[in-house]
Each structure stands twice: as structure tokens, then as C-alpha cells.
Structure 1
């Protein structure tokens, strides 16, 4: 798990997107939309680190930019990473527990709905904010234009290699039907090989442009090591007592997983409720997903996945990239809201959207 995060962080750090476009509402929507799609394929952390600086540069001449960063956290740093296990840490933990790699593609419709609603609300908000900009700022924004320049393109090949490692190399299964099983940690060794290739072949100026360092990923690694050690006992308790908690419906798991994900980090919360759902007796007609050990109801897994990924956006601590994006924005001069100030935005915008998700997909 930590090797995957490290690989995506380092390789995406070798990709630099620079430029300054006119900060029209449509331009910002395009940034958020592309970022929301990229999040599933290079991870929410990778997509956030790739796009936040050019987005801030594009909006540097505008006065009202706080909402743009907040919606960036909503979509690019969280909700966009739903379609593949490498998109967001909770989904990768599910993959490691036996969920098929492409199972998450079945969540396309909730992903599309939430992405479209977030972008729609943002477009209206930014159009209103754009009208409040001073004419001199608009003129400056229109004249100080630099074309987007993408450097480090070779790293996209390495990112595809990471996807292939995760999707194809499983020590418990035959490799591509060739009659042999990968040896333990072969997947991790291959991912680290791509990291080495990236570090060797990437121009060092790109890392300087991205202000790249290992501080953030080391903090995340230390945090998750501690969390994973501490949650072993709760998982064993849930294995024994999970069926008696009263959580039986998909919407129960959606709100409970999501609510705790917002304040405890979504990856360990996902694991706790994943284990809880495994011990709930299936009802008649319930579709089950077979795992390496045991099985889980498909409807409950959908709810847990949606809750963990979507509601990690409700606070700065719900998902790893959130606080990093906040810090980068503040370094660029954007006055970001406090912890509880951010929650006024997130609860006001996202909770109604999540209620729609519940009614359409979980009842």
C-alpha cells in the first residue's frame, strides 16, 4: 500500500505543467474536470500535485479564488478518484483484500453524477465571482497569458507501468495464464523499478519547478503505519461482533463510513467497515462478491466505497491531498478557510449531493 502511494507520488512529481491561461469560468471548469478524470488513473495525490500549481497560476490575476481551490479539493483530491483502485487509498486496500481490479469501474454512474453536480455548482459560483472582479484585474488576466507547457511526458509511461503492476501482478494468482505465480513482493519490486526509471530519466529542473520533496509522503507513510498497527484489534472485534452493530442497509454503511472517513481518514475507515460488512449474513437475493477470504455483499461494498471516497472531501483531514493542496494555495497567497470554515463550504455543497446519491443508488 505504501509502495503504491510512494510510486504515484514520486512519478507524478516528475511531471510539470506550467502556464497561465485566461481564468474564465470555463477554463477553471476544464481544469477541475480533467483533474477529476486523472485522479482515477494517477491517484488523487498525483492529480492534485500535477494541476494545483498551474490552476493557481492561471487564477493569479483574479481576486476571488478561494472557492476554486475548495472545489478542486472536492473533485480532484477526492471524488474523482473512484474509478480504479489506484485512484484513492481505500479502494486499493479493497483490492488487496480480494476485490477485483476493475470492479470499481461499475461505480461510473455515481462518479459521473457527483462530478457533474460539483462542476455545475462550481460553474455557477465562478460565473458570479467573475462578475465581481475589477476590470483592471480582468484586463491583466486577459493580457498576461502563457501557453501550457507539459514536461516530463515519459513519466506517463511509468504511471501506466504502475497501473499494470497493480492490475496484473497478484501473488495469489497465475500471471497472465502463463502457469506460474508471481513471487511475494514482485509487484512492489516492479513498482519501485518504475520509480527508479523515473528518477533516472527525469530532468531535475522539473522537480525544482514542482518544489518536489519527500516530506509529505514520509508523513503519510508514518501515519498509515501507525494507523494500520492500531486498527488490528478493532478489526478482530468487528470480525466477532460486526453483525450485532445494527448496520444492515447500504445507506447505513454509506453515511457511517463517510462520516467517520471525514474525521479519521478514509483509508482505515474503509477497512473497518469492509470487515464489518463481511460478517453480515446475506439476505435472500443479495449479490455477493467472493474475496480471497470470505465474501461481501456487492451493495454494501458499493456503499462503503462511495462513502469513503466521496466523504473524504468533507474536511481537510479526510484524505491525504486535502491538506497539501491547502498549504500550496496558502503559499501562493490564497487565504484559505479554517478547518471549520472549510466545513461550511463542504457540508453546504456536498451533503445535498450525497443525499441525491443515496436516493438514486443506495435505496
Structure 2
């Protein structure tokens, strides 16, 4: 369906509500209520859906709502199962230990999903740092590394890559992105370690003493939920969902009408909730439905209002001089303000129309690399770029951490994440040693900044 530029106004208004209303004193308290978020999302989204249905494009609305349901069910299942696992004990909240936490999260994100890894680690990470006053940066880098950049190695890691697998990209193909994954996450971990050393040096002696005195060996409660995690992973990797194409053409069998994947994921979530360790879930993790309800409320509006936005993007994309770098920039930049899964699908289809060999699933491989990296890494640019981002923020808010506002988070992502991505693009997605040399210089500057921050840090005897 052809659309005009003004059709993206509801989407822009929704973004402005998310960014501005929490900052305005008159609306901040009201915006905290998930009912208000849902009302705003529906007021902006339902007219768009009605317009498309009346115009004969109801199939696009149906596709958006099916993808929304699949998206929320996956997040819900991982949220519920991870909420039943509690990493007991209390280790020292030193920069070294915090960096190890994030490194582990970045390593497992590709195999249990960025949502699962983020929800599994954010609570013990916050518990470990409960005595520390300065910890908002830890939440931000958890979103950067665990909720996004760590998930690039398999289709299980991030929803965009799962959509690629459904479109014919081989499961193992994403392992080819290992060096980009290692490069980006290594620079982010180096940067985080430097920032956390500086923050640690600013903590009061009483906070450090409290952290040192409250120590206990690590242990795991709710281990049965690892079985339910395995159920979700198997469902995502091997089970089919609704076959919308067959349904729309009228040739769907009974099997193609049944969302087997979502049924298994919901069953795993229900079993975890009702059969799991209640103490681990409700007393230790202080489990609450608020984070997932917040994501569900906001993203129903995002999925509806972005229908014309994606259509408009598809209309103008053909006039752009597309190469690897341009495709990465557009996919990554738009993934930061739209959800990265449908953004990936849009640019996947655009890239499939372009010439180039060799091809993977009908897409020139070098362009598929750019789309995949852009969607996954770009999802970390804002709170709404990827579903787990808001969930991590909501869990941290519930724990009393003063997380950055929408605008402040974007400033931090441009300060610490964008330079890393720029270095990655110059080294891995450009041709010629001049550009690659510039990328190496940018990477060296990032490491140099980290060294400079640590050199300026006042020594503390307990820093590790």
C-alpha cells in the first residue's frame, strides 16, 4: 500500500510520548501507569489499523499483530522462566566481577536469547551491586552487551536473526559474524570496566565496607527452570508457528493453523510459574508482572504505528545508493527507533532485490551481513530498539535504580556505543586499507579513552 510522509506522524508522536512524558513533572507520575501507556498506544495505533483495513490492506495489520503476538509470547516465556531462577550469594561488587557478569551475559545471549540472558543476569547483577550508589551505567551496559550485542551468533540470540532463519538463512550462517561479535563486545567490556573502576573509586567508604561485609558463596535456586529454558530454545529452533502465507492463499492445512512454537513456549512458562521454586521467584527475585506488561502496552502501539512507517521506508529505499555501509546505517539507525525485527525483515526484502554474489537465502551475502549486524547492534541505540531493553530498565527501576531517561540513554549510546559500531563498520564492512586504518585508529582511541579514565581514577585498595 502506498503511503505519504504524514502517515508516520502517529509513530513519531508515540516516540515523543515515550521520550518526553516521563520528564515532565505534570505527566511523569501518570505515565508510570501501564494503563496510561496502553491507552496512548491504542489511541495512536488503532486509527492506523482501521485506515489500513478500510483501504484493503488488512493483511498488513494481521501480519503486524501476528508478529506482535509472537514477539510478546517469546518475551513473556523467557521473562517468566528467568524470573524463577535466582543466583544466590553475594560477591563483591568490584569492577572485575561486574565485567565478568557482563562478559558471561554477552557469551550466553546468542544461545538462550538476549531476553533470557538479560532477565537471568540483571537481578543478580543488581543484587550484587545493591550496596553501591553509582550503578546506572551498569544497567546501560547490560542493555548494550547482554540485551543486544551479545545475541548476534545464532538465530536464537535475537528476533531479527530468527526471522532470517524463517526466510531461509541457514542456522549456522550467523557463526560467520563471530569476529564482529567479538570486536564489538570486547570494546564495550573494556569501556565498561574503565567506567566502573572510576565509579567504584567514587563510592563512599561505608558503601564499600557494607559490600565487603555482605558476602556469601554463589549458588543456584530454581534450577528446574533450566529445563523450561531448554523447551523454549527447542521450540524456537525447531517448531513451526502459524503459516500466514498458506492461510492467506487458502491452502493451509490444520497443522499450519496451529502455532506449535507459541504453545510450547507458553506451556514452559506456565510450568515454570506454577511448578517452580516459589521462594526464588517471589521472595528472592521479587517477581512482578510490571516489566512485561509495560513492554506489551507500548509495543502494541509501536507495531501498529510503524506499519505505514515501514511502508514509506520501502517506497523511498529504491532511490538510495545502497551498499554495505549504507545498508548497515539504515538498518541500524531505524532499528533504534523501530523494533529491530520488522526493520530487519524490511531491509532483508530490499536487499534481496539487489544484485550480487554469492547469495544466501536469495540475498547477496555481503548485504545480509550488513542487515544482520545493523538490526542486532542498532537495537541497542534506544530503549525501544529491542524488547529486552525496556524490560531491563523496568526491572532496574523496580529495584530503585535511577536509570537514565529516554533522551539521556540515547546520549550515552552515542557516546559509548556508536564509536564502537563506527570502528566495526570501518574495519569489517569497508574495502581498502585507508578506511580500515581509520577504523583501527577509532578502536585505538576507544581503548585509549578507557586507559585515560582509569589513569584519572583515584586508587582504592579494594579495587580489583
TM over 0.5: yes
Confirm or deny that 1:261 pairs with 2:332.
no
- 1:118 aligns with 188
CA distance in 1, matches of 2:93, 2:128: 6
CA distance in 1, matches of 2:358, 2:384: 34
CA distance in 1, matches of 2:321, 2:83: 41
- 1:282 aligns with 355
CA distance in 2, matches of 1:122, 1:266: 24
- 2:197 aligns with 127
Q: Which has the larger radius of gyration?
A: 2
Residues 291 and 395, structure 2, Cα contact 8 Å, conserved in 1: no
> Equivalences for 1:212-361 in 2 at 5 Å?
212-221=287-296, 244-279=318-353, 281-283=354-356, 286-290=357-361, 295-361=362-428
Which one of the candidate residues 266, 269, 285 is aligned to 1:195? Answer: 269
CA distance in 2, matches of 1:83, 1:182: 34
Q: How far did residue 26 of structure 1 move?
A: 0.6
Residues 235 and 275, structure 1, Cα contact 8 Å, conserved in 2: no
- 1:72 aligns with 142
Q: 1:101 to 1:216 in 2, by over 3 A?
A: farther
CA distance in 2, matches of 1:150, 1:73: 23
Moved more, 191-200 or 152-161: 191-200
Q: How far did residue 34 of structure 1 move?
A: 1.0
Q: Could you report, residue by residue, the CA deviation over 1:232-263 in whole angstroms, capped at 9, with x for unpaired residues?
A: 66767777x57723242111111111111111
Q: Could you report, residue by residue, the CA deviation over 1:61-86 in whole angstroms, capped at 9, with x for unpaired residues?
A: 22322222211111111111212222
Q: How far did residue 142 of structure 1 move?
A: 1.0
Q: How far did residue 200 of structure 1 move?
A: 4.0
- 1:211 aligns with 286
**Residues matched between the structures, number:** 347
Q: 1:237 to 1:157 in 2, by over 3 A?
A: same
Residues 234 and 272, structure 1, Cα contact 8 Å, conserved in 2: no
Moved more, 197-206 or 101-110: 197-206
Q: Could you report, residue by residue, the CA deviation over 1:168-220 in whole angstroms, capped at 9, with x for unpaired residues?
A: 33589xxxxxxxx9933333333334334333431222321333344443554
TM-score (norm 2): 0.68
Q: 1:233 to 1:74 in 2, by over 3 A?
A: closer
Residues 227 and 268, structure 1, Cα contact 8 Å, conserved in 2: no
TM-score (norm 1): 0.86
Q: How far did residue 277 of structure 1 move?
A: 1.2
Query: Structure 2: which 5+ residue stretches go unaligned?
Result: 1-69, 244-252, 431-464
Q: How far did residue 137 of structure 1 move?
A: 2.3
CA distance in 1, matches of 2:231, 2:134: 40
Q: How far did residue 316 of structure 1 move?
A: 1.7
- 1:139 aligns with 209
CA distance in 2, matches of 1:159, 1:254: 32
RMSD after superposition: 2.6
- 1:178 aligns with none
